[in-house]
């Protein structure tokens, strides 16, 4: 006897969009049909008015363990993920020590086992120590449980090393996630380059800092024929380059984060360090380009780039403040806003928050009989106010505190075990 979810609208892009029931037994989906009798399960959940989707996946988070547990532990990060409706997350390797060896990968997975059931997929480093000089041992990392590779937080400067990384990783079936940043051109920039930065007296970061490296990695993907995934796209130029590459059949995929389709550089006015991030918030033109990229399929994935920081690392001079915001507990309603505004359909949103991340990472997903019961239940009509003091993340660095939003996850199910959000 298992769990029965009744009368919910099941939205599984490319598979089904209908009102039906789901019967779960032994961690797997046993039946999908309308009118399954309540006697079929010991636990019955009435999902009338709710939307049932394949479990959300955030393929880009920074949990700070090992090394900076005062910002986030794997356990607290998993709790924040569950609150946000995510059944799985991919942790970036810029921990201390860096996840560039099998021991750290195994440590992360062991800690994840002790958490709340959210599936944790470690992303290991492309290069040792994130230094961009020597490739890691990809075979050992794959065997230890790494699902992808990235030097996120730092770019791989050497084009030759990046080419070798693509070729070497492809042999082990490990996708490369690229942090695109020309750090020489970025210099000591603290926010987007433009009139606002000039008025605030802060050094700026031009759009070309990102797009130069996006174009390089597209060229390397074209050269090798090997897929590359572009992280946290923020500029119109990057969107145009990725769109053109896809039209030419180059196997590039891309993600953006909710802050890039929701906010602009105006959010950092008054030196608001809780809106300071890298890449920086851009202009309204860039925000619209990102939204258009989501709408036409140029951008495949919405990921949070969840980046917890202690208050003491944010409450300093703007140019000295740490980059990044927490995002796991606010991502879904900001995504649902795109549906409300007609940028995406509900199915389109779920593609970008579940189906496409799974495809890129090679994970099995979908609400199908026999699949693991990894499911998120969403109340699309819930209106609530973001309160950073109620976050389950250890950190509070968000620009969305006090925002009234609509829609939230109310239940997440991982391998048949349910958790209220």
Cα–Cα distance between 230 and 4 in angstroms, integer? 39
Query: 305 an active-site residue?
Result: yes
| 64 assigned binding-site residue | yes
Is position 400 annotated in a ligand binding site?
Answer: no
For residue 279, whether the previous peptide bond is cis, meaning omega lies within 30 degrees of 0, is yes
Measured CA to CA in angstroms, residue 384 lies from 49, 50, 412 at distances of 17, 16, 19
Ligand-binding site membership of 7 (annotated): no
Kindly calculate the radius of gyration of the chain based on its CA atoms and give it in whole angstroms: 21
Question: Cβ contacts of residue 390 below 8 Å, gap of 6+?
Answer: none
Nearest Cα to Cα of residue 419 among 396, 392, 397:
392
DSSP states of 265-326: GGGGGGG-GGG--SSPP--HHHHHHHHHHHHTTSS-EE---B----HHHHSS-GGGSPP---
> What's the Cα-to-Cα distance from 215 to each of 156, 220, 283, rounded to whole Å?
14, 9, 20
Cα–Cα distance for residue pair 60/328, rounded to 1 Å = 10
- φ and ψ at 45, to 5 degrees? -115, 120
Q: Flag whether 305 is marked binding.
A: yes
Pairing of strands 51-54, 375-385: antiparallel
* Spatial distance between the Cα atoms of 13 and 53, rounded to a whole number of angstroms: 9
For CA atoms 275, 276, 277, 279, give the dihedral sign: positive
In this structure, what token pair is assigned to residue 103?
């021991």
94 annotated as ligand-binding: yes
Query: Is 100 known as a binding-site position?
Result: no
Annotated binding-site residue? 192: no
Catalytic residue among 58, 182, 305, 379: 305
Give the three-class secondary structure for 99.
Answer: coil
Binding site annotation covers 154?
Answer: no
Within 191-235, residue ranges assigned H as helices are 195-200, 208-224
Is 240 part of any known ligand binding site? no
Alpha carbon distance 58, 234 (integer Å):
18
For the annotated binding site for substrate, the residues are 62-64, 94, 278, 309
For the annotated binding site for Zn(2+), the residues are 60, 62, 152, 179, 232, 305
Enzyme catalytic residues: 305
For the annotated binding site, the residues are 60, 62-64, 94, 152, 179, 232, 278, 305, 309
């Amino acid at each position: 006897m298992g769990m029965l979810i009744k009368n919910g609208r099941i939205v599984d892009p490319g598979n089904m969009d209908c009102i039906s029931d789901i019967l779960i037994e032994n961690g797997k989906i046993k039946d999908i049909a309308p009118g399954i009798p309540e006697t079929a399960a010991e636990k019955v959940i009435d999902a009338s008015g709710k939307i049932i989707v394949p479990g959300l996946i955030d393929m880009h988070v920074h949990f700070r363990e090992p090394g900076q547990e005062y910002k986030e532990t794997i356990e607290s990060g998993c709790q924040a993920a569950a609150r946000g409706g995510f059944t799985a997350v991919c942790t970036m390797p810029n921990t201390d020590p860096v996840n560039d060896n099998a021991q750290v990968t195994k440590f992360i997975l062991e800690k994840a086992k002790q958490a709340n059931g959210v599936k944790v997929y470690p992303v290991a480093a492309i290069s040792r120590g994130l230094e961009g000089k020597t490739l890691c041992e990809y075979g050992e990392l794959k065997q230890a449980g790494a699902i992808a590779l990235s030097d996120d937080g730092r770019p791989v400067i050497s084009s030759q090393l990046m080419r070798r990384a693509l070729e070497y990783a492809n042999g082990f079936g490990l996708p490369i996630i690229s942090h695109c940043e020309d750090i020489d051109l970025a210099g000591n920039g603290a926010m987007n380059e433009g009139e606002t930065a000039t008025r605030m007296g802060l050094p700026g970061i031009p759009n070309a800092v990102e797009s130069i490296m996006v174009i390089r990695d597209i060229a390397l993907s074209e050269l090798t024929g090997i897929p590359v995934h572009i992280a946290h796209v923020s500029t119109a130029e990057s969107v145009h380059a990725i769109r053109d590459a896809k039209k030419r059949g180059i196997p590039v995929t891309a993600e953006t984060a909710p802050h890039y389709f929701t906010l602009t550089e105006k959010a950092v006015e008054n030196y608001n360090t809780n809106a300071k991030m890298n890449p920086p918030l851009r202009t309204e033109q860039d925000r619209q380009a990102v939204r258009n990229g989501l709408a036409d399929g140029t951008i495949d994935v919405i990921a949070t780039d969840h980046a917890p920081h202690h208050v003491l690392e944010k409450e300093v001079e703007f140019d000295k403040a740490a980059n990044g915001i927490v995002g796991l507990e606010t991502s879904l309603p900001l995504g649902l806003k795109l549906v409300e505004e007609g940028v995406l359909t509900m199915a389109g949103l779920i593609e970008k928050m579940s189906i496409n991340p799974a495809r890129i990472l090679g994970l099995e997903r979908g609400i199908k009989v026999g699949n693991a019961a990894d499911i998120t239940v969403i109340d699309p009509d819930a209106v609530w106010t973001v309160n950073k003091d109620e976050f389950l993340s250890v950190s509070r660095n968000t620009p969305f505190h006090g925002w009234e939003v609509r829609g939230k996850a109310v239940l997440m199910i991982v391998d048949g075990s349910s958790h209220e959000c």
